[in-house]
Amino acid sequence: MFYGEHEHTIDRKGRLIIPSRFREAMKEHYADRFVVTRGLDRCLFLFPEQEWKTQENKFRALSFTSQEARRFNRFFFSGAAELTCDRQGRVLIPLYLKDYATIKRDVILVGVSNRIEIWDKDEWKKFYDQFKESYEQVAEKLFPSP
């Protein structure tokens, strides 16, 4: 559903333009709202509403007696905020989420199939530069030959 990398900036009011390609993908799936929350690796996860519900059901199935599950759910869900694009395709990212992801102004939006990741531009470059060397080795571990 979401693919590619897009560079954007956050305006003075804290708004971010969602790339038109991503907005079109949302319309194809009859979604007009997103949920954004703390992601992994210091980025933000942006889910279409229906995909958010799918993820929520998975996390809800975790045992609340597990300390790790409780901690993860608290952190993940306490960071969640519903977003709707304005007429110009912009969303307002809450300050506490920008702080978590160390987002200042320049961002990279990364399509990762069922979600969009929002990265501070410098953090994305660090991640990309670090990971690109091990990409093939990770692929071999995840998808071993029969």
pLDDT at 104 over 90: yes
Name every residue whose Cβ is closer than 8 Å to that of residue 45 and which is 6 or more positions away in sequence. Answer: 36, 37, 38, 39, 115, 116, 117
Question: What does the domain layout of the chain look like in residue ranges?
Answer: 2-142
CATH architecture of the domain 2-142 equals: 3-Layer(aba) Sandwich (3.40)
Question: Which backbone phi and psi does 86 adopt, to 5 degrees?
Answer: -80, -175
- State the average pLDDT over residues 21-28: 86
Band of residue 25 on the pLDDT scale cut at 50, 70, 90: confident
CA 107 to chain centre: 12
pTM of the complete model beyond 0.95: no
pLDDT at 32: 78
Q: Six-digit token pair at 66?
A: 């597990």
**What does the pLDDT read at residue 26?**
82
The Cα–Cα gap between 87 and 94 comes to 19
- For residue range 32-74, list pLDDT tens digits in order: 789 999 999 999 999 998 999 999 999 989 998 999 999 999 9
Q: Can you give the pLDDT at residue 30?
A: 61
Per the CB < 8 A criterion, the answer to whether 29 and 37 are in contact is: no
Residue in 144, 49, 37 with CA at minimum distance from that of residue 101: 37
Phi, psi (degrees; rounded to nearest 5) at 103: -85, 130
